[in-house]
Amino acid sequence: MSDPRFFRRAGPFSLAQIAEAVGGELADDAMGDLMIADIAPLDEAGPDNLSFLDNKKYLDVLAETAAGACLIAPAMADRAPEGTALVLCREPYLSFALAARMFYAPAPPEPGTAPTATVEPGSEVPEDCRIDHHAVISSGVQLGARCHVGAGAYLGPGVTLGDDCRVGQSATLECCLIGNRVNVYAGARIGTEGFGFAVGPEGPVRIPHTGRVIVEDDVEIGANSTIDRGTTGDTVIGRGTMIDNQVQIAHNVKIGRGCILAGQVGLAGSVQVGDFAMLGGKVGVANHVKIGDGARLGALSGVNEDLAAGGTYLGQPAIPIKDFWRQVAAIRRLTKRG
Amino acid sequence: MSDPRFFRRAGPFSLAQIAEAVGGELADDAMGDLMIADIAPLDEAGPDNLSFLDNKKYLDVLAETAAGACLIAPAMADRAPEGTALVLCREPYLSFALAARMFYAPAPPEPGTAPTATVEPGSEVPEDCRIDHHAVISSGVQLGARCHVGAGAYLGPGVTLGDDCRVGQSATLECCLIGNRVNVYAGARIGTEGFGFAVGPEGPVRIPHTGRVIVEDDVEIGANSTIDRGTTGDTVIGRGTMIDNQVQIAHNVKIGRGCILAGQVGLAGSVQVGDFAMLGGKVGVANHVKIGDGARLGALSGVNEDLAAGGTYLGQPAIPIKDFWRQVAAIRRLTKRG
Amino acid sequence: MSDPRFFRRAGPFSLAQIAEAVGGELADDAMGDLMIADIAPLDEAGPDNLSFLDNKKYLDVLAETAAGACLIAPAMADRAPEGTALVLCREPYLSFALAARMFYAPAPPEPGTAPTATVEPGSEVPEDCRIDHHAVISSGVQLGARCHVGAGAYLGPGVTLGDDCRVGQSATLECCLIGNRVNVYAGARIGTEGFGFAVGPEGPVRIPHTGRVIVEDDVEIGANSTIDRGTTGDTVIGRGTMIDNQVQIAHNVKIGRGCILAGQVGLAGSVQVGDFAMLGGKVGVANHVKIGDGARLGALSGVNEDLAAGGTYLGQPAIPIKDFWRQVAAIRRLTKRG
């Protein structure tokens, strides 16, 4: 179902092959030979497509799907229509991710430097890299193997990237060291001078920011996100952390490993986020606040003091999520009494 | 009053011409011959300018205006100073829009391709299009008539635009099909890979996004806004929907026709918005939520469950606006008692 | 401690020199000859580095610092380790800013125009300006002395900049007049058409925006921020106002002098902000609202009506900050009773 103008597809694969690769089990072994040509959502899938059910909200869509096959949790299996072969999985979304990567495996870029790109002397660009139109690779830049720098992107003096990195169109990288397999999406700004002023008698005095941004391996940084460099010392994004679009990360923030920051999150200066924390959309965190390992923050939360590891929080100011909903209920009762 | 460095103006027009074109009525027919050279706000307008009053907040500014003429609702007419000729209109702001379009009619771009632009073989660029400096038109791109692609914009392989589209400077379009008369402002990112991961035992597993973004006719997409492509299936922006700056729209969102999304709105994955809905600034909507036709959401609302058509909502979580203000009052009383 | 790949450093300076320059006093005059090579944060500083303590939260880091010298308030001086020479200051952060500017003084750009830049005829670019790769200087642009236009930035027809301005990579300036010493960071969009429509019987009618953006002297505009031009009349940013990343400023907003707008603030159309106001991260202000001189708004506040000068406000809707915390406490009590 994918549009051939935009995507190249591998396959087809038999349902047996897929089931094995994604850690699932055929509900009916006789369906193992069914050939699957593509993945598709339930409402668009046809007889040679594989779909998935991960959210009860779509049970009615499942009931009417024309999908040839579906990844599904065992408990939901009896809700699927008869014509759909089922692959039973403990985590259908994870299995779907693995299946999608069979059909659309990420590939290294086609090597080459566009004639309109600018690669300044004193930079290192391995031959297997791809540099697109009007990109700028400044002096002192070092790229690892198989990097892909998009059209109009700018890599400032001394910027270093590991292997297999992608930099989106018009993105800006300055004063930063980037690990391996990092994806920076279009329009992201990394290493910009931070928003730091001291208030003097004649108005604000700008503080020159002489720190860096350190981005560890396997990080993603979404489109139009901004990460300022440290005042002194570094802003750090830990290994495997995923950052969505339009996220703002101020100077000297330290984010641990494996965190997820959804769209439009904002972290003020010197915030610390532990490992494997999850921040919902539009969460805001005040400066110098520490968020513990594995903490989860619901969307739109505002955090103005340190939060313990492992908890789930919501609200402005953010409180334990149970307390938040109890307060919502209490406020609702107030107006019913009134 | 417009700055000739930036704008070209038509006219002058007589007040009678204007009144007819904007669906208004002269308060005094004798003023029909007054020649109007430009539009201007009340506090800057001079004797040959047309202004408007749309908000009671500016009645005191009206009282001191030097505007030669003013578009105004009949009920406010007695508040205008004597020297200002009045055009009575039911909807002064709509009439003002129509008047502004007399003086500053949108024009097709001057055709031509800048020598520094890159137009790859296998793309279709009609002769009446304009491609500015350092723009990139990739292979397989199809532009309609009279399109204008701004400096440094990037149109990825296979992207299709209808007639009379404008793409702002440094904007990025990938994996998307765009209708007619669509305006994409500077720095917008359309068709970027969505923020989709499944959580596996060794950390997040990226899901390749093989859907598209479909933008129907007459849509506007504001500066630095981001619209991710679908996981599988499409992200869709319906006809005539207006999207302000810094709006984030995640994968698989479906927005209906004629919606208005103000600045910094964020829609999480698979959100559905009906026709003619209005979302105030900074509204956030959680994933898989459905918002009914014509629903209105006050600024900063947070939506975590489906909202019925036609209602007006406010708050975090968003509730009917009357209930919101009742709750605000009840909370206020609490502290007065205390 | 700064990375020589990214920064050039002046110095070293003696601690006596520094103390005098930053308005501090040596705790022990015998330490005046100590040579300081760089500035660094407490946890990274070595024996020839100067650090600072500005926030009690870092007292435990201070206790273990290896910094040769530290800027510190007199009241905290006894908390520093013995090996660290102290410079006593009333405002350590201000003193640190001044010290940082000794080591890393802002310098004018190296003059020159990249061969890949486009400078259109009819523009004025003084010889001491620097125009980086793929930047576009349109016809009618006037730059002041020592301006630096970053790679891929776009200055539209007629745009005027004063002396010593910097425009970041891929930024877009249209329909605007910019003062002296203004910094526009990467990806900012200034002068874009505003989000203005009148609702007509056949859907929204776009209003052509023929105003400008006026940016006065000494302003900073953060990365990926957006400032729309006026409908008619101007959007104005007053002298010395500091705007962080991803701030959205709509048409006809007027901001006074010396204001601070933190990351992701959003101001709707025609908002007025007085002089020296401070808006925390993610604050949203509804259209036509006026915020008085010196008002302070806590992060995430939502403002829907005029706010008096000098007050400190918080919440959605924003109320005096004491009332906000009283309400938070009252709501907490509600659920304890229940």
Instruction: Determine whether the interchain pair B168/C282 forms a contact, defined as Cβ–Cβ distance below 8 Å.
Output: no
CA B184 to chain centre: 10
Give the chain A residue nearest C57 (alpha carbons).
A288
The residue to which tokens 């000068």 are assigned:
C309
CB contact under 8 A, C250 and B240: no
Q: Take residue A198 and report the two structure tokens written for it.
A: 């001291």
Distance CA A297, CA C338 (A): 25
Q: Which is nearest to A56 in space by CA: A33, A72, A69?
A: A72
How many of the other CB atoms lie within 10 Å of CB of A150? 26
Q: Which of A133, A134, A209, A251 is catalytic?
A: A251
- CA nearest neighbour of C300 among C331, C321, C279: C279
Nearest to B259 by CA among B225, B306, B220: B220
**B134, B209, B251, B288: the active-site residue:** B251
- Helices B321-337 and C321-337, interaxial angle, to 10°? 90
> Does pLDDT of A264 surpass 50?
yes
Interchain CB distance below 8 Å, A218 and B203: yes
If you write DSSP's letter for every residue of B190-224 in order, what string do you get?
Answer: EEEPP--EEEETTEEEEPP---EEEE-TT-EE-TT
**Quick one: how far is CA B265 from the chain centroid?**
12
First to last CA, chain A: 56
Q: Answer whether C13-103 and C171-338 agree in fold.
A: no
CB contact under 8 A, B192 and A170: no
- Please report, rounded to a whole number, the percentage of residues in chain C having pLDDT higher than 90: 92
The region that residue C165 occupies, defined by phi over 0 for left and psi between -120 and 50 for alpha, beta otherwise, is beta
Per-residue confidence (pLDDT) for residue B202, from 0 to 100: 76
- In whole angstroms, what is the distance from residue B179 CA to residue B237 CA? 10
Helices (H) and strands (E) in chain A, counts: 4, 38
For residues A94 and B199, the answer to whether their CB atoms sit within 8 Å is: yes
Question: Distance (Å, rounded) from C-alpha A151 to C-alpha A148?
Answer: 10
Question: Looking at residue C260, what is its pLDDT?
Answer: 96
Inter-chain touch B330–A338, beta carbons under 8 Å: yes
Q: Is a pLDDT exceeding 60 seen at residue C338? A: no
CB atoms within 10 A of CB C90: 11
Q: Return d(Cα A169, Cα C170) in angstroms, integer.
A: 10
Burial C11-30 (b: 16+ CB within 10 A, else e): bebebebbbeebebebbeee
The pLDDT tens digits along chain B (338 residues) read 689 999 999 989 999 999 999 999 999 999 999 999 999 999 999 999 999 999 888 999 999 999 999 999 999 999 999 999 999 999 999 999 999 999 998 889 999 999 999 999 999 999 999 999 999 999 999 999 999 999 999 999 999 999 999 999 999 999 999 999 999 999 999 999 999 999 888 778 899 999 999 999 999 999 999 999 999 899 999 999 999 999 999 999 999 999 999 999 999 999 999 999 999 999 999 999 999 999 999 999 999 999 999 999 999 999 999 999 999 999 999 987 54
Q: How far is C180 from chain B (nearest CA, A)?
A: 20
Cα separation of C134 and C167, whole Å?
13
C141: how many CB neighbours lie within 10 A of its CB? 23
Which of A93, A218, A280 faces B198 most closely, judged by CB atoms? A93
Q: What is the pLDDT of residue B338?
A: 45
The encoded tokens of residue A327 equal 């307060």
Q: Where are the domains of chain C?
A: 13-103, 171-338
How many C-beta atoms surround the C-beta of residue A107 within 10 A?
9
Q: What is the per-residue pLDDT for A338?
A: 45
Look-up: residue for tokens 């209708």? B179
Question: Rounded to a whole number, what is the distance in Å from the CA of B202 to chain C's nearest CA?
Answer: 32
The CATH superfamily of B13-103 is MurE/MurF, N-terminal domain (3.40.1390.10)
Which two tokens mark A76? 């939901």
Closest CA to A324 of A291, A304, A284, A297: A297
Residue of B nearest to C334 (CA): B334
Q: Using alpha carbons only, give the angle B11, B16, B19 rounded to the nearest 5 degrees.
A: 90
Nearest to C245 among A200, A230, A248 (CB): A248
* Residues from chain C contacting residue A116 (CB–CB below 8 Å): 116
pLDDT recorded at residue B337? 55
Give the CATH fold of the A171-322 domain.
UDP N-Acetylglucosamine Acyltransferase; domain 1 (2.160.10)
pTM, full prediction: 0.96
Check residue B91 and give its pLDDT: 94
- Cβ contact A262:B195 at 8 Å: yes
Q: Where are the beta strands (DSSP E) in A126-202?
A: 130-131, 136-137, 148-149, 154-155, 160-161, 166-167, 172-173, 176-178, 183-184, 189-192, 197-200
- Looking at chain C, which residue has its C-alpha nearest residue B134? C134
**For A211-222, how does the pLDDT look when each residue is reduced to its tens digit (9 = 90+)?**
999 999 999 999
Assign 3-class secondary structure to chain C: CCCCCCCCCCCCEEHHHHHHHCCCEECCHHHHHCEECEECCCCCCCCCEEEECCCHHHHHHHHCCCCCEEEECHHHHHHCCCCCEEEECCCHHHHHHHHHHHHCCCCCCCCEECCCCEECCCCECCCCCEECCCCEECCCCECCCCCEECCCCEECCCCECCCCCEECCCCEECCEEECCCCEECCCCEEEECCCCEEEECCEEEECCCCCCEEECCCCEECCCCEEECCCCCCEEECCCCEECCCCEECCCCEECCCCEECCCCEECCCCEECCCCEECCCCEECCCCEECCCCEECCCCEECCCECCCCEEECCCCEEHHHHHHHHHHHHHHHHHC
Strand partners, A55: none
Instruction: Give the pair of three-digit tokens for residue B17.
Output: 């011409």
Q: Residue A329 has what DSSP assignment?
A: H
Q: How many CB pairs under 8 A join A and C?
A: 198
CB atoms within 10 A of CB C82: 4
Which of C134, C260, C283, C327 would you mutate first to test chain A, the one with the most A CBs within 10 A? Answer: C134
Nearest-CA residue of chain C relative to B94? C198
**Could you tell me the pLDDT band of residue C215, with boundaries at 50, 70 and 90?**
very high
A251 is catalytic: yes
Question: Does A111 sit behind a cis peptide bond, omega within 30 degrees of 0 on the bond before it?
Answer: no
If you average pLDDT over every residue of chain A, what do you get?
95
Residue C40: its chain A contacts at CB < 8 A? 232-233
Q: Is A173 within 8 Å of A149 (Cβ atoms)?
A: no
Out of C210, C228, C282, closest to residue B2 by CB: C210
Q: Which residues of C touch B299 (CB under 8 A)?
A: 268, 284, 286, 302, 304
Which range has the worst mean pLDDT, A190-204, A225-239, B87-101?
A: A190-204
Percent of chain A with pLDDT over 90: 92
Report the C-alpha gap between B88 and B98 in whole angstroms: 14
Residue C48 in contact with residue C37, Cβ under 8 Å? Answer: yes
Q: Which of A132, A226, A336 best probes binding to C when mutated, by most C CB atoms within 10 angstroms?
A: A226
What pLDDT shows up at residue A204?
82
Q: What is the CB neighbour count within 10 angstroms for residue B337?
A: 6
How many Cβ atoms sit within 10 Å of the Cβ of residue C55? 13
Q: Which of C290, C229, C305 is nearest to B41 (CA)?
A: C229
Angstrom distance (rounded) from CA B238 to CA B227: 13
Task: Tell me which DSSP letter residue B142 carries.
Answer: B
Chain B CA closest to residue C119:
B133
CATH architecture of C171-338: 3 Solenoid (2.160)
Instruction: State the average pLDDT for chain C.
Output: 95
Both tokens of residue B60?
A: 């005191």
Q: Give the whole-angstrom CA distance, residue C137 versus residue B293.
A: 45
Smallest Cα distance from A198 to chain B, Å: 29
What Cα–Cα distance (Å) separates residue C80 from each residue in A199, B71, B160, B264? 25, 69, 64, 45
* Interface with chain B: mutation pick from A56, A219, A224, A247, highest number of B CBs within 10 Å: A224
Q: What are phi and psi for residue C144, nearest 5 degrees? A: -80, -170
Q: What angle do CA C149, C152, C156 make, to 5 degrees?
A: 70
Query: Of C133, C134, C209, C251, which residue is the catalytic one?
Result: C251
What is the Cα A4 distance to its own chain's centre? 25
